[in-house]
Amino acid sequence: MQNNEEEHQLRSVAFLNARSIFLARQRAEDSLRKQSELLRITLSSIGDGVICTDERGCVTFLNPVAEFLTGWSQAMAVGHPLTEVFKIVSEDSTEPTDNPALRALREGTVVGLANHTVLISRDGTKRPIDDSAAPIRDDAGNPVGAVLVFRDASDRKASEVALAHLAAIVESSDDAIVSKSLDGIIRSWNSGAQRLFGYSPTEAIGNSITLIIPLDRLDEEREILARISKGERVEHFETVRVARDGRKIDISLTISPIRDSSGRIVGASKVARDITDRRHAEAARVEADQRKDQFIALLAHELRNPLAPLRNGLQVIKLAGHDPNAVAQAGEMMDRQLEHMVRLIDDLLDISRITQNKMELRRAAVLLTDVISSAVETVRPAIEKAGHQFTVSLPKEEIVLDADLTRLAQVFGNLLTNSTKFTSSGGQIWLTAERQGNEAVVSVKDTGIGIPTESLPNIFDMFSQVGRSVDPSAGGLGIGLALVKALVEMHGGTVRAESEGPGKGTIFTVRIPALATATDTPEASVGGGTPATGTRQRVLVADDSQDSAISMGMLLKLLGNDVRVAHDGAEAVAIAETFRPEVILMDLGMPELNGYEATQRIRQESWGKGIIIIALSGWGQDRDRVRSRDAGCDGHLVKPVTLPDLENLLKELKAARQAGTPAKP
Amino acid sequence: MTIPTEPIGSIPRTPRLLEALAVTDGADPALDPLYDEAVRDTIEQFEATGSPVITDGEQRKYHNFWTYCVHGLANTDRDGFKIPFSDGHIRRMPRLTSGPFRYKTYADSYLDLALKYARRPVKQAVISPSALSLMYPVAEIPGYSRQRFIEDLINEHVTEVRNCLQKGACKVQIDFTEGRLAVKLDPTGELLANFIDLNNLALSRFTREERTHIGIHTCPGSDRDSTHSGGVDYGELLRCLFELNVGNFYVALAAERDRPAVLEIIRQYLKPNQRIFIGVIDSIDPRIETPEIVRDRVIEAARYIPVEQLGTCDDCGFSPFCDDTTTSRETAFEKIRARVVGTELASQILGVK
Whole-number Å distance between alpha carbons of A330 and A338: 12
Q: Say which range, A440-454, A544-558, B232-246, B304-318, has the weakest mean pLDDT.
A: A544-558
B185: nearest CB among A11, A17, A22 = A11
CB A508 within 8 A of CB A495: yes
pLDDT of residue B201: 92
Please indicate whether, in this complex, the C-beta atoms of A14 and B201 are within 8 angstroms of each other.
Answer: no
The average pLDDT across B58-78 equals 92
The average pLDDT across B132-158 equals 94
Whole-number Å distance between alpha carbons of B218 and B237: 9
Query: Residue A261 has what DSSP assignment?
Result: T
pLDDT of residue B242: 94
The shortest C-alpha distance from A39 to chain B (Å) reads: 19
Residue percentage of chain A with pLDDT more than 90: 32
Name the pLDDT band for A572 (thresholds 50, 70, 90).
very high
Is B64 a residue whose pLDDT tops 90? no
Q: Which chain A residues touch B197 with a CB distance below 8 Å?
A: 18, 21-22, 25
Please indicate whether, in this complex, the C-beta atoms of A20 and B184 are within 8 angstroms of each other.
Answer: no
Q: DSSP string of A480-520?
A: HHHHHHHHHHHTT-EEEEE-SSTTS-EEEEEEEEB-S-GGG
Q: Quickly count: other Cβ atoms within 10 Å of residue B258's Cβ.
A: 11
CA neighbor of A486 nearest in space, from A358, A364, A375, A354: A354
CB A66 within 8 A of CB A50: yes
A contact test, residue of B181, B201, B209, B246 with most A CBs within 10 A: B201
Is A240 a residue whose pLDDT tops 70? yes
Sheet containing strand A583-587, edge to edge, reads A562-566, A538-542, A583-587, A612-617, A635-638
Whole-number Å distance between alpha carbons of A239 and B107: 84
pLDDT of residue A662: 54
More confident residue, B6 or B227: B6
The average pLDDT across B125-129 equals 96
What is the tens place of the pLDDT at every residue in A32-67?
A: 889 888 888 888 888 899 999 998 899 999 999 999
B contact test, residue of A4, A15, A17 with most B CBs within 10 A: A17
Query: How many Å is the maximal CA-CA distance in chain B?
Result: 61
Whole-number Å distance between alpha carbons of B65 and B67: 6
Exposed / middle / buried, residue B159 (Cβ in 10 Å: 0-12, 13-18, 19+): middle
Is A532 a residue whose pLDDT tops 60? no
The shortest C-alpha distance from A4 to chain B (Å) reads: 10
pLDDT of residue A535: 65
A17: nearest CB among B136, B184, B185 = B136
Q: Say which range, A240-244, A352-356, B346-350, has the weakest mean pLDDT.
A: A352-356
Please indicate whether, in this complex, the C-beta atoms of B133 and A14 are within 8 angstroms of each other.
Answer: yes
How does the average pLDDT of chain A come out, rounded?
84
Angle made by CA atoms B309, B310, B313, in degrees to the nearest 5: 140
A contact test, residue of B136, B198, B206 with most A CBs within 10 A: B198
Is A499 a residue whose pLDDT tops 50? yes
Name the pLDDT band for A465 (thresholds 50, 70, 90).
low
Is B229 a residue whose pLDDT tops 80? no
Q: Which chain B residues touch A11 with a CB distance below 8 Å?
A: 185-186, 191
Q: Name the helix (H) or strand (E) containing B278.
A: strand B275-281
The average pLDDT across A639-645 equals 75
Whole-number Å distance between alpha carbons of A88 and A114: 11
CB B180 within 8 A of CB A54: no
CB B168 within 8 A of CB B111: yes
Exposed / middle / buried, residue B116 (Cβ in 10 Å: 0-12, 13-18, 19+): exposed
A7: nearest CB among B137, B185, B190 = B185
What is the tens place of the pLDDT at every residue in A113-134?
A: 666 789 999 999 999 888 888 9
A24: nearest CB among B147, B182, B210 = B147
Q: Quickly count: other Cβ atoms within 10 Å of residue A230's Cβ.
A: 9
Please indicate whether, in this complex, the C-beta atoms of A21 and B201 are within 8 angstroms of each other.
Answer: yes
Whole-number Å distance between alpha carbons of A542 and A591: 11
CB A491 within 8 A of CB A403: yes
pLDDT of residue A455: 84
A24: nearest CB among B82, B134, B150 = B150
CA neighbor of A100 nearest in space, from A118, A91, A88: A88
Q: Which chain A residues touch B188 with a CB distance below 8 Å?
A: none
The average pLDDT across A242-257 equals 91
CA neighbor of A378 nearest in space, from A415, A404, A353, A347: A415
CA neighbor of B227 nearest in space, from B278, B298, B179, B277: B179
CB A274 within 8 A of CB A249: yes
The average pLDDT across B86-110 equals 90
What is the tens place of the pLDDT at every residue in A280-328?
A: 888 888 887 877 776 776 677 667 666 766 777 787 787 777 778 878 8
Classify A611 in phi/psi space as left (phi over 0), alpha (psi -120 to 50) or beta. beta
Report field, pTM of the whole predicted structure over 0.80: no
pLDDT of residue A251: 92
The shortest C-alpha distance from A106 to chain B (Å) reads: 22
Please indicate whether, in this complex, the C-beta atoms of A6 and B82 are within 8 angstroms of each other.
Answer: yes
Please indicate whether, in this complex, the C-beta atoms of B136 and A9 are within 8 angstroms of each other.
Answer: no
B150: nearest CB among A3, A12, A21 = A21
Please indicate whether, in this complex, the C-beta atoms of A14 and B208 are within 8 angstroms of each other.
Answer: no
What is the tens place of the pLDDT at every residue in B258-272?
A: 999 999 999 999 999
Q: Name the helix (H) or strand (E) containing B279.
A: strand B275-281
B201: nearest CB among A12, A15, A25 = A25
Please indicate whether, in this complex, the C-beta atoms of B146 and A18 are within 8 angstroms of each other.
Answer: no
pLDDT of residue A155: 85
Q: Say which range, A459-468, A572-581, A647-656, B78-87, has the weakest mean pLDDT.
A: A459-468
What is the tens place of the pLDDT at every residue in A351-402?
A: 777 777 777 788 888 899 989 988 888 788 889 888 999 999 999 888 999 9
Is A530 a residue whose pLDDT tops 70? no
Whole-number Å distance between alpha carbons of B310 and A425: 137
Whole-number Å distance between alpha carbons of B345 and A352: 128
CB B218 within 8 A of CB B176: yes
A contact test, residue of B101, B148, B191 with most A CBs within 10 A: B191
pLDDT of residue A472: 44
Q: Quickly count: other Cβ atoms within 10 Å of residue B225's Cβ.
A: 15
DSSP SS3 for B293 = helix
In B, minimum Cα distance to A2 occurs at B84
DSSP SS3 for A622 = helix
* All residues at 6 or more sequence positions from A239 whose CB lies less than 8 Å from its CB, including other chains: A217, A220, A250, A251, A253
Please indicate whether, in this complex, the C-beta atoms of B191 and A11 are within 8 angstroms of each other.
Answer: yes
* All residues at 6 or more sequence positions from B181 whose CB lies less than 8 Å from its CB, including other chains: B83, B221, B228, B229, B232
pLDDT of residue A115: 67
A17: nearest CB among B133, B185, B186 = B133
The shortest C-alpha distance from B146 to chain A (Å) reads: 6
pLDDT of residue B107: 96
CA A103 to chain centre: 64
Highest mean pLDDT among A21-35, A429-443, A628-642, B219-233: A429-443
A21: nearest CB among B138, B197, B209 = B197
pLDDT of residue B101: 96
Please indicate whether, in this complex, the C-beta atoms of B147 and A23 are within 8 angstroms of each other.
Answer: yes
Q: Which chain B residues touch A21 with a CB distance below 8 Å?
A: 133, 150, 194, 197-198, 201
CB A363 within 8 A of CB A404: yes
A contact test, residue of B92, B133, B152 with most A CBs within 10 A: B133
pLDDT of residue A533: 36
Name the pLDDT band for A464 (thresholds 50, 70, 90).
low
Q: Which chain B residues touch A9 with a CB distance below 8 Å?
A: 81, 138
DSSP SS3 for A539 = strand
Q: Which chain B residues touch A3 with a CB distance below 8 Å?
A: 82, 84
Query: Residue A454 has what DSSP assignment?
Result: G
| CB–CB contacts below 8 A, A to B | 83
The shortest C-alpha distance from B353 to chain A (Å) reads: 25
B contact test, residue of A20, A33, A142, A144 with most B CBs within 10 A: A20
Name the pLDDT band for A524 (thresholds 50, 70, 90).
very low
The shortest C-alpha distance from B193 to chain A (Å) reads: 9
Please indicate whether, in this complex, the C-beta atoms of A15 and B190 are within 8 angstroms of each other.
Answer: yes
Name the pLDDT band for A112 (thresholds 50, 70, 90).
confident
Q: Terminus-to-terminus CA distance in chain B, angstroms?
A: 5
Q: Which residues share a beta bridge with B137?
A: none
pLDDT of residue A140: 65
The average pLDDT across B12-22 equals 92
Q: Which chain B residues touch A28 with a CB distance below 8 Å?
A: 201, 204
CA neighbor of A433 nearest in space, from A373, A360, A475, A492: A373
CA neighbor of B224 nearest in space, from B323, B324, B317: B324
Sheet containing strand A87-90, edge to edge, reads A59-62, A49-54, A143-152, A126-137, A111-120, A87-90
